[in-house]
Every structure is written in structure tokens, then in C-alpha cells.
A and B are shown apart, each in its own frame.
Chain A
Amino acid sequence: MATVLDPTGAPAADERRASRRGRSTAPGGRRRHVPPLLAVSPFYVLFAVFGTFPVLYSLYLSFQDWDGIGDMRFVGLKQYGWLLQDSVFWHSVLNTFQIWFLSTVPMLFLALVLAFLLHSQVRFTGAYRVAYFIPNVTSMVAMTIVFGSVFAQAGLANSVLRAVGLDGVGWLSSEWGIKSSVAIMIIWRWVGYNALIFLAGLQAIPTEHFEAARVDGANSRQTLFRVVAPQLRPVILFAAVTSTINGLQIFTESQVLFQSTDIGSTGGPGQEGMTIVLYLWQKAFKEHQFGYGAAMGWLLFAIIAIFTIINWRLVSGSDRDDRRPGIAGLLRRKGVRDGR
């Protein structure tokens, strides 16, 4: 973990050097390349079939009108034009950003605090690390059903509120109730994952820095925000970027939370839980408008790309240049592991 997430970017630099060496020592001898290429080919073949092809095909689809079986009809940019005029789509974009903000900001903060606590000397560190990571590998559908009971009118969340003398909240029947419910589920699922990433980053910070801070009389809070946070900047960027990418693709939580025998009630009252990907799924896979769904997918891609760049600028604004390949390396690895 620690080497993969080394914030100095050493792994990526190593890779570059290695590939340059490989090229220079084998001039002309094409045969030599065959065995290593064959060795890595399973990934690339599978990636081409299940990654590249569908991506390119969806771009092609976004210019067509297709119900999934019959003949396609070329419609040019019409799907995009319709999409830009679709008020439900814009509502889903707004919802997605609201839910993303409600979840990502508290989650990254919580994760940082958790990582800091885990990094200090506590008993049963391993058990805590496992416990915090478990939500991330739990079946989201099963957990959403559990959360459905928690957020019910007579559910656990409202019972707790009433026990401390507060009024119950319409978790699943009011605008901010719905968004908070989804955000809480996202925080619950991802906080441990990000805490472990921060922890890996923390472990790469030389202990001298902590000792120096202690000698200078810094307390825990000052150590966290003045010493740790600045040095963790590349890791925080990584977490922020991946959280943005994940956060803009929220789907399962909204879908399962409002799944019911009622047809057409996706996204809950006021469609406040309707996210971009949920809308994409509804149009493409429930109403069989694959061209429309594909166009939505590409607009989502554009939005994610823009926000990733903004994130990057914000967090690494005054960074030294040599840190960037490190982040790129981290992202590449993350992408490889997730199969994205």
C-alpha cells in the first residue's frame, strides 16, 4: 500500500525509466517483443473488448436512435440537443452536485481525522482498519435496504431524533431529507476507504516531522492541520479526484432507496434523488432509448472531466512540477485496479 501510494511519485518514474531502457536495448529485434507482449495481452485484449469498444460504441450510439434490437436511425446531434432542453436532466445534474457536495466534503474531512487517529498509537489498529473498510466491500444493494429501514418515517434515525427531543425528519419525503439520506450512505461507504488512503500517505511522512512538531509544542490539532495536511496534499488530491469521479456517478443508493412496486417513482418525491446515472439508466434500460442514454453518458463524461481539472488546479495550484507524474501514476493504478 505504502509504495503504491508514495506521494513522491517514485513508482511512475521507475516505470518510465524501465520502458525507456527496454526500447533502447532491443533495436530491430521484433521477435523479442512477442513473449512479453503476449504476457500482458490478456489484460489488453479484455480491456479492448470490454473497455475500449463499449466506450467508442456508446459515442457512436449517441448519434443514433435505437431501441436496443431493431435498426438504428442516424439523428446527428439531436439527442444532445434534446438532452440540453430536458429539465429532468438538468434537475438530475443539480441533484448530483448537491449530493456530491453534501457527501464528499464531510467525508474527506472525517477520513482525514480518522486516518490521523489510526496513525497515532492505539490498540487494535488492525481491527479498526478492517472495520472501517468493511462498508466499502459490503453489497450496496443490501445496505441500501437496511438504510431504507433506518430512514423510514418510524425508522431508527427518527427514533433517535425523537429520543433526544427533536422532531422526526421526512428523510425520504422531503428535498433535503432525500439528499441527506443518500449523502449519509455515501459517507458511510467511502469514509473508511479514504481513511486508509490517507493513512498510507501519513505513513510516508518521516517521523522526524512529527517529533519536530511535538518538540515545538504543537498539539494534535495543530499537528494535523499544520504539519500533516500540507504534506498530504497529493494524497488529498487523489482522494478528491476519485471522490468526484465516484460522486458524480451515484446510482445504487438512489435506485434501491426508491425502488418500489410503483412504476415511475424513480428518484423519490420531486425526483430529488434522481441522479445523472439513475436518469441514464431509466432512459436507456427501462425506456429503451439507448441513443439518449449514450448522449447522457458523454455529457456526464464532459462534466467529470471539467471538474477533475478544476479539482486538480485547486488542490495542486502551487505544487512543484515533479509531483504531477506521481498523481498521474496513482490515478493510473487506481484505474487499473477498478477496471475502469
Chain B
Amino acid sequence: MEHRTMTRRRLLGVSLGGAALLGMSGCGASSGSASAGTDHLSLWYWKGSLSDTLLATAKRGVPGMPGLKVQGSQIPDGDIDSKVRTSLAARAYVPDITVANSDNLATFFPDENEFLDLRTLGAEAVRDRYLDWKWKSCFTPSGRMIGFPLDAGPTALYYRRDLFQKAGLPHEPQDVAEEIPTWEKFIAAGRTLRAKAPGKPYLVSNIGNVFQQVLLQSPQQFVDADNRFIGDQQHVRRAWDLSVELLRRRLSAGITDGTPDFNAAMSGGRVATMTTAVWAINGLKDTAPKTSGTWRLTTMPDGPANYGGSYLTLTRYCRDPEAAFAFLTWLLSPANQLKSYQEMALFPTTPASYADPAMHTPDPFFGGQQPIDVFGPAAQKAPVVYFSPYEESANTPFFQELTNVEMLGKNPDRAWRDAVNTAETTLSRLGVS
């Protein structure tokens, strides 16, 4: 009977986040690990976020580190955030190592002590291997390094060379970069395209994408490091005005990305450009295989930015921080990032990899252009951006109102005021002034 109550109580505590129960029984940080009592460290990731080959190697034993094994568990990418949060709240079955998405890392800032400060494990020694802006984005406002650079998402302008040519526009990547250096020029080119290219193609699929990219080119987003709302300032307003201008000039197809209509428009040549990151390549190839050879890549108007990418983190329940950190530096070394790029198309955060001949392969989908020629420099030039924990709460109203303007014809000025008001109200409840 005694035994049964114990287990039931443990079950309650574990399954419901009964932190108090476990606290009473004296469970310290050391026993909260999911790998407690095993010979390996546990790692949570989602499909496609890490190289399967390297993980298979790590499961047998990390090379150069005798006795160190890391076992990965694949978690659906929609669930991993809530699973990590649940285990951290329960202080039980927490993974030693976990992958965090770029827009997710900042949401852990208010709970930064749940993660190990990687500087205490000697992270500074490998700093010069990694992109500077990516490295800086691993830090919380208080200066704790809770993330380690996994992959990057440098952005580019994807465009249809054939349509640009038929419209009499500059159409070779170098020329496009030189003659369409700003968003204003981009809009002007869109008007020519719409007037002269066959089938009157739209310039962009929807205006939200451009809003997103203009925003990412700015070092500031919606909330600054002092927890002040800055979403009503010029950098956001500029992104908003450019997006509205695209719509006013009828250059947007008004199609949501990823929908069947989007797929039809891309393969049917109704949309002539995409402003997005390197990871969109495979999606585009799947969506519009028939357009192979007509696409080209060039520098984004107003310069490159970073969109997406991930981090690895060590939780404070990590059983063996030194070994886990050694695993990170092995898995994310320039040589292994190169392998991950070849196997999984994960774009390296180690600039040394970009010079490797293995990355300089011509891609027939882009008419034999080497994507690295555009994405490599873009990755090195991306700005240092501060993302606050409240970015999603703050930017949701803006994206929503842009959709309303585009799809329902809402007055842009009224939509802007509504977006600012909604964001301010939501943020004030979260302690952002």
C-alpha cells in the first residue's frame, strides 16, 4: 500500500507539472533529465532540423569523445515548444539538449535561468567560427548565452528571369541587383512587369511577405531590449507603407502562401518574384517543377536579411554540461555544417563552409546559377536584430490588419491605427510599456 501511494503521487507530479510535489520530495536539478539512468544524453529535435546521418553517428558515440553518446528523439515541430515548456514546468523528463526555432528562442528570455549559460562552458573559444549576427542573437538582454548557432536563413530575391526579360527589365542576377537596389525601384519594376510581360504577372503573392522582409532588414522590431513598444515607429511604418503601395499599384496577387491557389499561381507564372529565405528553395521546386530553369536569385532590394534558422540549447537539467557542449561544437563544426547542408539543406552558420567547393554546385532550377553566390554574401551581411519575447503578440495585429487591407479592402490608415491599438493593449498586459 505504501508503495502504491508513492507511485501514484509521482505519477501526479510528473504528468501534471506538480512542481510542488516534486519540490517537497527534494528532486533537484540533477534528476530532472530525460536521460537520467541511461548511458546517453537526450536530444529533442524536429524532423529536418538536424542531420540524420550525424545523429546516427552520435547515437553510436560522438567521435573524439570516448563514452559520449547522444540519442535524438524526433518531436513534431508543432509540439516541441509546448513539450519543452511542459517538461520545464514539471521539472521532470527535461531533455539535456533541445532545438529551438529562431522566433522561439526569445520567448525563453524571461525564463533564461532554465537554460545553461554556454559562455561558462567555453563558448567564446569557438566564437570566430560563426556568423557575428547569429552569435549575438544567442544572448538574452541580460547577457546570458542560451542558444548555440544551428542554421541560418539568409534571404534573397527569387525572380522569373524569362518574365523580367520579356518585360524589357534587367534580367541577369548582377543587373537586377544593380538596377533594382531599393524597394521603390522594385515597385517600379513591378509596374513595368505588369504592363509588358505576357499574362500580366503580379510582382508578389501577398503584401505580408514584403512587410516581413522590410522589417527583418531593420535592427529593430516591435519591442526593444528595454521592453518598450516601438512598433508605431518609422521602421515599421516604412514596411507598412511599402506594402500598401504594392497593393495600391495592383502588384500583389492577394494569395496566401502555401495554399492551393499559391501553388497554382507559382507554377502558372502568375507571380514573378518571391522575397524569402534560402529554405524556401525546396518548397518552390516541389510547387512549381515545370518552371525549372526560369528562376534566378539575386540580392534583395535594400540588402539582405535573415529569416528563420534555429538554435541548440542546453537545459539546466542537463546531466553532463561539458559533454553536451562538446557535442554541440562537434555537431555544429564547419565540417559537419557542410555535411548537414549537403544532406538536409540546412544553411551553415559557419562562413568557412561557404568557400568549400561542395557548396558551389550549379542548380539547374536556377538555370545553372550557384545559390551560394547569393546566399553566402547575404548570410554575412545580415543585420544584427533584437527579437523580444513578445514579438508574436506584438506583430500578430499588424499582419492581421495587412491581410484585412489586402483581402477585405479595409482602409489602410484605419487598419494601421487598429493594429497599433491592439498591439499596445495586448502588450500593456504583458508588462511592455
Contact = CB atoms under 8 A, between A and B. Distances in A.
Contacts of B258: 260-261
A264 B395 CA distance: 7
Interface in A39-54: 45, 49-50, 53-54
Given A49-B15, A67-B111, A269 B85 contact: no
SS class, residues of chain B in contact with chain A: helix
B39 interface: no
Interface string A252-284: 000000101111111111110000000000100
A231 interface: no
B89 A68 contact: yes
Nearest to A53: B16
A255 to B, nearest CB: 11
Contacts of A45: 8
A282 B426 CA distance: 13
7 contacts: A49-B11, A69-B89, A154-B261, A262-B206, A282-B396, A286-B392, A289-B430
Interface string A268-306: 111100000000001001111100100000000000000
Given A57-B16, A264-B392, A264-B398, A155 B260 contact: yes
SS class, residues of chain A in contact with chain B: loop
A70 B88 CA distance: 9
Interface of A: 45, 49-50, 53-54, 57, 67-70, 82, 86-88, 148-149, 152-155, 172-175, 258, 260-271, 282, 285-289, 292
Nearest to B8: A45
B15 A264 contact: no
Interface of B: 8, 11-12, 15-16, 82, 85-86, 88-89, 103, 107-108, 110-111, 114, 206, 208-209, 212, 254-261, 264, 392-393, 395-400, 403-404, 406-408, 410, 422, 425, 429-430
A153 B163 CA distance: 24
B261 A153 contact: yes
A258 B258 CA distance: 10
Contacts of B110: 67, 70
Contacts of B209: 262
A98 B36 CA distance: 51
Contacts of A155: 260-261
Given A67-B110, A69-B88, A265 B403 contact: yes
A10 B89 CA distance: 47
Contacts of B396: 263-264, 266, 282, 287
Contact of B107 (A260, A265, A288): A288
A155 B404 CA distance: 22
